[in-house]
Structure 1
Amino acid sequence: MGPRRVLVVCATTVLLPVSACAGYTPTPAADGANTAALAEVASESPFPDEEPSESSAPPAEDEDEGVWETKWGPVSKIDRELIRKVRLASLWEMPMAQDAVQRATTAKVRQVSETIASQHHTLDRQVREVASKLEITLPVKPTEQQQSWMSDISGSTGSAYDATYIKWLRLAHGQIFGLIGQVRGSTQNTLVRRFAEQCNAAVLNHQRLLESTGLTTPESFPDPAA
């Protein structure tokens, strides 16, 4: 049984921006940027045999308000926000991690990127499963901000490539981490609660991996007031 959407009074919540995976095998980029190709591949479904619960357009405002009742418990607006933002993170971080496996100049960054890419592929499968069960529409391409990060990374070369890649991925993971905790602490939906725990484990591990490269700088961390 799918979710029965019931509109109830819902407090306005300030949401943190998120940035954590469509799979593909990139061709090593030349010194110039290859962002358009990366973004195009990022928008493709990593599971072509599945029926995706995705749309290029955002859900209608009146369809995405309030709390939806489901057999797993109520789904709040912030619950749905986390699910969509994790998918958005997947759409840009997975291609960039796979690209870094080939383009990064140090073995450490390549190793970290390979682990992140693999774990994000699993996380993306999980978010698609949860969204399908809860009938939540998912985005199919990165946001403009995420595409700008992809452009910055792809347009860099040498050691600057490694540093730029680490900066944006660590910033993105730091931004979503607070939202994950907020949802885990407040959701009454058992599916969303379990998914938040899966996200927490993955994002915490990825932050540690990115920091282990020694390339993080103050710019790699989000404003604690954000």
Structure 2
Amino acid sequence: MDHPSSTTALTTAGGLAALCLLTACAGYTPTPLPDTAALDAAVTATGAAQPTGTPAPPESDTGTVQTKWGPLSELDRDLVRKVRLASLWEMPMAQDAVQRADAARVRQISEEIAAQHHTLDRQVRDVAGKLRITLPVKPTDQQQAWMTDISGRSGPAYDATYVKWLRLAHGQIFGLIGTVRGTTQNTLIRRFSEQANAAVLNHQRLLESTGLTTPESFPTPPS
């Protein structure tokens, strides 16, 4: 899904700086994929592989299916969809915070978060196209409630609410990324999970750098 001109503006100078920061934060090079260049050259924008003229099979939403990158599990698909959902609400809220946040630091980190989500969303759509995963097109009810809560505030209360909900959301998906990275047998998902891990970890650090994170900003620890 393409985004309006405000997203494009954020991915110029600010986007390049954010990507450099993302790379530095990751501290490693994502797992390389096997050499499938000849096959990938035939993959269209929608992910329909046509190396032999045979269209890719339709996606299955249940169980594990075989792909040229290895088995694709339900958990693998869940990660791809949840990263997409994260971008659907966090990117527009970060763009909004660039304009509305009270503190200069919150405006600064929001520009980086928005730019990095633009890149992450492009990666998620590429992976979903290749693996025939249907992506959500709007945030969940909970995410929309967070957006409403943030948008309805102003001044320092806007900043605190924005940081609280984004930090909580990043903490929730962080565990899923680790689980998928440790269990997936699909090389494309393994590499994507590393890209998502680098982005989410960096966003947590940026949000925490505002000094606005409180106990409410963190997921409830397991008992």
* TM-score, with length taken from structure 1: 0.74
Q: Work out whether residues 22 and 95 of structure 1, in 8 Å CA contact, stay in contact via their aligned partners in 2.
A: no
Identify the match of residue 3 of structure 2 among 18, 23, 27: 23
Shift in Å, 1:63: 3.4
Identity, % of aligned positions? 74
Partner amino acid for 2:166? L
**Amino acid in structure 2 at the alignment position of 1:121:** H
Shift of 1:51: 4.8
Of 94, 119, 123, the match for 1:122: 119
Q: Give the 3 Å change call, closer, same or farther, for CA 74–172 of structure 1 in structure 2.
A: same
| Residues paired across the two proteins, number | 175
Query: In the aligned structure 2, how far is the partner of 1:94 from the partner of 1:107?
Result: 18
Deviations 1:182-221 (A, max 9, x none): 0000000000000000000000000000000000111100
List per-residue Cα deviations over 1:29-48 (Å, max 9, x = no partner). Answer: xxxxxxxxxxxxxxxxxxxx
Amino acid at match of 2:182: G
Per the alignment, do residues 86 and 123 of structure 1 end up closer, same or farther by CA in structure 2, a change over 3 Å counting? same
Paired AA for residue 23 in structure 1: H
Alignment partner of 1:69 out of 66, 82, 90: 66
Q: Which runs of 5+ in 1 are unaligned?
A: 1-20, 27-49, 54-61
Q: Tell me the CA shift for residue 84 of structure 1.
A: 0.3
- Residues in 1 aligned to 2:134 and 2:219: alpha-carbon distance in whole angstroms: 28
Deviation at 1:224, TM superposition (A): 1.6
The answer to whether the Cα contact below 8 Å between 2:91 and 2:117 also exists between their aligned partners in 1 is yes
Determine whether 1:110 maps to 2:91: no
Contact 2:85 2:138 in 1 (8 A): yes
User: Could you list the runs of 4 or more consecutive aligned residues of structure 1 that deviate by over 6 angstroms after TM superposition?
Assistant: none
Asked whether the equivalents of residues 23 and 95 of structure 1 are also in contact (C-alpha less than 8 Å), the reply is no
* Corresponding position of 1:90: 87
Identify unmatched segments of 5+ residues in structure 2.
Answer: 8-44, 49-58
Change beyond 3 A, Cα 1:161–1:219: same
Distance apart, 1:225 and its partner CA: 2.0
Query: Aligned residue for 2:220?
Result: 223
> What's the counterpart of residue 188 of structure 1?
185
Q: Which residue is 1:204 aligned to?
A: 201
Residue number in structure 2 paired with 1:131: 128
**Aligned counterparts of 1:187 and 1:51: Cα–Cα separation in 2:** 23
Whose helix proportion is higher, 1 or 2?
A: 2
Structure 1 position 22, deviation (Å) = 6.4
The answer to whether the Cα contact below 8 Å between 2:150 and 2:162 also exists between their aligned partners in 1 is yes
Superposed counterparts of 1:134-173, under 5 Å: 134-173=131-170
Do the aligned residues in 1 keep the contact of 2:47 with 2:130 (CA within 8 Å)? no
Distance 1:95 1:22, change over 3 A: farther
CA contact (8 A) 1:83 1:131 kept: yes
1:176 aligns with 2:173: yes
Q: TM-score, normalised by structure 2?
A: 0.75
Quote the RMSD (CA, aligned, Å).
Answer: 2.0
DSSP 3-state at the match of 1:118: helix
Query: CA 1:123/1:196 → structure 2, altered by over 3 Å: closer, same or farther?
Result: same
